[in-house]
């Protein structure tokens, strides 16, 4: 059973992911150069097939223009996918699902490139599980083979991977990103040392959360924490980088970071709502059996 409210929330999450990435690609940058400037991979092709010296290739304005065009093209793709999410329905306009699928695949490629940029840290890839996973979850929700319990389990997996891998960076298993420390300092006014301690504790809580959401008696508490923490970490991208002297520029530079991360908080809310649907269905069937 899928209520209109929960289905709308799921579509909202996927729309935010696509529109946020579209904004990023159309107005800012994306890590495609990490592939197109990969000397070990592309040098034999560039020099062997195209007969162009590697140094000339990487310093060419034409090369950069092509990369920029690819980034913008992907921005248009994400924009089309976002619009398709709005128009997609259960029974008709099934072709709107195609841009959502292509957009989801493109998000996987983007995440691989982000992981490559970070020396192929496994956590860097799976930290974005919610973002590249939800488009496919949305498509599955329209499937005739839809199973609510499996659906909820997949959502929990995406949440667990996202929060656990985020925790690996906050905990310090991987080098703590400087932007994490800067955000804590800017928002909470902590010293650098206290900011690192704060992140360390937040990382431990992320690990615990990734386990508790699979324990029925404790999952609700963990999911509500995930809702709050997911939304706060999304909003922090603007809160830590907002300057009164340049308000519009501050928003323009950081709004996409907020938008495609809001589903980190809304996805746990989805699980809460869908879980209630299972509870209501079970209660209804029990009463019906008694009668």
pLDDT digits (tens, 9 = 90+) for 143-197: 889 999 999 999 999 999 999 999 999 999 999 999 999 999 999 999 999 999 9
140's CB contacts (< 8 A; 6+ apart) are 146, 151, 154
Query: For residue 121, what pLDDT is reported?
Result: 92
Burial class, 81, CB count within 10 angstroms (exposed 0-12 / middle 13-18 / buried 19+): buried
Instruction: For residue 259, count other CB atoms closer than 10 A to its CB.
Output: 22
197/193 Cα distance (integer angstroms): 6
Domain segments of the chain as ranges = 1-146, 154-291
pLDDT digits (tens, 9 = 90+) for 51-62: 999 999 999 999
pLDDT averaged over the chain? 93
Gap between the Cα atoms of 138 and 33, Å rounded: 30
| Alpha-carbon span 214 to 168, nearest angstrom | 19
The pLDDT-based confidence of 26 (bands split at 50, 70, 90) is very high
Please write the tens of the pLDDT for every residue from 202-244: 999 999 999 999 999 999 999 999 999 999 999 999 999 999 9
Q: Are 10 and 138 in contact (CB under 8 A)?
A: yes
Angle between helices 97-117 and 61-87 (to 10 degrees): 140
CA-angle at 157, arms to 151 and 163, nearest 5°: 135
Residue among 209, 107, 98 at smallest CA distance from 159: 209
Crossing angle between the packed helical segments 219-239 and 247-259, to the nearest 10 degrees? 150
Judged against a pLDDT cut of 70, whether residue 67 lies above it is answered with: yes
pLDDT reported for residue 289:
43
| pLDDT for residue 38 | 96
Distance CA 195, CA 182 (A): 8
pLDDT at 102: 97
CB 21 within 8 Å of CB 110: yes
Q: How far apart are CA 32 and CA 29, in angstroms?
A: 9
pLDDT at position 284 over 50: no
pTM above 0.95, yes or no: no
| Largest separation between any pair of C-alpha atoms in the chain | 81
pLDDT band at 286 (very low <50, low <70, confident <90, very high): very low
- For residue 279, what pLDDT is reported? 56
Please tell me what DSSP assigns to residue 93: -
Confidence check: pLDDT of 2 > 60: no
Residue written as token pair 């869908």: 274
Give pLDDT, residue 92. 56
């Amino acid at each position: 059973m899928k209520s209109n409210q929960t289905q709308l929330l799921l579509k909202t999450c996927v729309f935010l992911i696509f529109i946020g990435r579209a904004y990023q690609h159309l107005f800012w940058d994306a890590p495609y150069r990490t592939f197109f400037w990969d000397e070990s991979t592309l040098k034999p092709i560039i020099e062997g097939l195209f007969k162009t010296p590697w140094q000339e290739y990487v310093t060419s304005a034409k090369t950069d223009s092509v990369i920029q065009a690819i980034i913008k093209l992907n921005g248009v793709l994400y924009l089309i996918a976002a619009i398709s999410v709005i128009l997609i329905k259960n029974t008709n306009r099934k072709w709107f699902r195609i841009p959502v699928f292509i957009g989801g695949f493109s998000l996987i490629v983007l995440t691989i490139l982000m992981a490559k940029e970070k020396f192929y840290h496994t956590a860097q890839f799976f930290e974005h599980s919610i973002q590249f996973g939800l488009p496919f979850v949305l498509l599955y929700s329209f499937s005739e083979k839809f199973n609510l319990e499996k659906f909820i389990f997949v959502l929990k997996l995406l949440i667990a991977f996202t929060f656990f891998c985020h925790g690996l960076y906050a905990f310090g298993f991987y080098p703590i990103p400087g932007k994490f420390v800067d955000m804590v300092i800017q928002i909470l006014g902590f010293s650098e040392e206290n900011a690192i301690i704060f992140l360390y504790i937040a990382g431990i809580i992320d690990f615990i959360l990734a386990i508790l959401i699979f324990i029925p008696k404790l999952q609700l508490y963990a999911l509500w924490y995930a809702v709050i923490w997911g939304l706060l970490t999304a909003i922090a991208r603007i809160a830590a980088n907002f300057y009164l002297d340049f308000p519009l520029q501050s928003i323009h530079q950081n709004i996409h970071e907020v938008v495609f991360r809001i589903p980190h908080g809304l996805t746990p809310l989805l699980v809460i709502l869908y879980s209630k649907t299972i509870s209501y269905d079970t209660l209804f069937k029990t009463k019906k059996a008694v009668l």
